[in-house]
Each structure stands twice: as structure tokens, then as C-alpha cells.
Amino acid sequence: MRAVTYSKYAPDNSTLHLGEHPDAKVGPGQVLIEVKAAGVNPVDWKVLAGGLDAMMDAVFPAIPGWDVAGVVTAIGPDTPEFAVGDEVVAYARKEVVRDGTFAERVAVSAEAVASKPASLSWEQAGGLPLAGLTALKTLRHIGIEPSGAGKTVLIHAAAGGVGSLGVQIAVAAGARVIGTASERNHDYLRSLGAEPVTYGDGLADRVRELAPDGVDAVADFVGGVLDVTLAVLADGGQHASIADPGAAGNGGSWLWVRPNGPDLVRLGELIDAGKLTIEVAQTFSLDQVGDAFDASRSGTTRGKLVIVP
């Protein structure tokens, strides 16, 4: 099968190659997925640069990519949940970085897989798993999901791939949402149900103008904003970050998300109820993965970047 591989850790795209790779084996409790779309996440190029080397082993040549939407083409023993032909999505992170989703096919544990939301295109579905699960877990952790009625939450980087999903999940839960973004994305945030504020100098004052008594919760999806978080959080409020380990030492939490099929089902329920959608910023072919990584590194993308094999 065709796949994108990287041959060693590098701080750029210099070790990425598109070529033939052996087909994945399908073990017990696994499904083989024909990849229709695979979301790009910052962790994909951070892994390439060795950013997770202290946590995870990599076996070279390694295929990057942790998001997938596609069709089940084979199942391993003891996998009654799925059948050949099922349309599915998965957050396909594995213990060892080797067999990722930037390929024509990928084998994934059934526990990480859920049915594809019927209302999403393949490209939208490919951008859902990691970003959606991250947003859902963060908002649960800070007491906004499943019910945020009567609460105000500040979401840092609200127009990004994770943040835009977080805004929608929080709004669906009944929370008042204040979201940080550049001015060019303010109308977009309003369309999602958030009250936008411009990030940068004076952010804490701008948030306090909207919430004089402080906010009940803060979800940080960008990092580098802990001082603002602490300045606007009301007494007894909760905060969490996916990008700043320092949150854990200041009364909050630093979060990672696990592959989780049931939580993907929950996201699918919100999607098919019309409460959550995924904006696709740009799609790329397998031979354009380096361009996709460059776009992700820019930090200015609104919505999701997606690989379409």
C-alpha cells in the first residue's frame, strides 16, 4: 500500500517520503480501515521532530497520523462490533509510533472505533477524532459537559481545530462561552454561539469586561496563557490545558486524551443532532503531507487540515 513515512526524527519535513509500505496485519480485536480521510494535528509533526521521544518509542520508517475516517475492509478474530463495509472513525494512536493513518489502510483496535456520523463528509469525519475527543474531555474535566447551564467558560484559541469544537460542545451543554481569537475570526465565533475577545496584551481586562465576577471555567487549547487564566478565573473555578503542563501546578490540570470509541459515539450524537460540525480548512493528498505540516505549524489555521489518500 502507499503510505507516507519518516525515516528518522527531524525538526522539519526533510525525512518524509511517499512510497510503498507492507499492508498492516489485522490482529485479534482489530479492524482494517481503508482510509478515506485522516486529520492533521500538531502532534503529528511534533512526533516527527522527536517531541514525544521521552514518552513513546518510534520504529522507523514510521507512518505518522492518528486520526482516521474510512471503511472497514477486514476484521480480526474476536471483533463482533464491526463488519466489512462499515463506515467508521477512530483516534488511532498506538503505544509505538509506527503504523499511522497517513496511508491507504490502517489497522486499529476496535475499542477506539465508532460509526461515522451520517451527516459528515469523509473530510469532516477525518478531522473529528482527536480534536473532538480532546475538546469533550477538557470540558467534562472542568464541569461544562454534559451540563454547563448557568456557567461561563473561557476558551483560549476558540477558532482553532480543537477550540471550535469546544465552543460548540459547551454551547450545546448550555454554557455561556467567551472565546479568544484574532479579529478576523470574531464573526465565525459568533456564528458558533460564542462571545469573541481578541487575544494579546490586555486580554484579562477584556474578559473581565464581559464577566466582571470572573469565569467559572477555562479551557486552554493553545498554551502560554496561564497568567490570563488565573486572572479571570472566579473563586472555586476549574481550569485545564492541553498545551501547558504548568496548569497542573496552579490548581488546574494538564490533559491528554485516550482513544475512546464510546466518546466518539457521544460526539456523533451531537453531530447528527445538528449541534456540532467540523469546519475543514484545507485538504491535501498523501504527497502533500509536508505542506499540511507547514500549514499546521503556522498556527493560523481556522478549522481542520485533512489528508485525503
pLDDT in tens, 171-219: 999 999 999 999 999 999 999 999 999 999 999 999 999 999 999 999 9
**Residue 22 shares a structural domain with residue 74:** yes
Q: Determine the pLDDT at residue 194.
A: 98
Domain limits for position 248: 131-254
**pLDDT > 90 in the chain, percent:** 94
Residue 59 lies in a domain: yes
Q: What is the CATH number of the domain that holds 50?
A: 3.90.180.10
d(CA 107, CA 92) in angstroms, rounded, equals: 8
Q: Determine the pLDDT at residue 303.
A: 84
**Residue 124 shares a structural domain with residue 135:** no
d(CA 170, CA 187) in angstroms, rounded, equals: 18
Residue 263 lies in a domain: no
What average pLDDT does the chain have?
Answer: 96
The total domain count for the chain is: 2
Buried b or exposed e, range 154-187, using 16+ CB within 10 angstroms: bbbbbbbbbbbbbbbbbbbbebbbbbbbeeebbe
Residue 266 lies in a domain: no
**Residue 160 shares a structural domain with residue 114:** no
At 122, the pLDDT band (50, 70, 90 cuts) reads very high
For residue 81, pLDDT beyond 90: yes
Q: Determine the pLDDT at residue 300.
A: 82
Q: What is the CATH number of the domain that holds 206?
A: 3.40.50.720
Residue pLDDT, tens place only, 23-40: 889 999 999 999 999 999
5, 62 Cβ separation under 8 angstroms: yes
Q: Determine the pLDDT at residue 301.
A: 82
d(CA 238, CA 222) in angstroms, rounded, equals: 17
Mean pLDDT over residues 269-288, rounded?
96
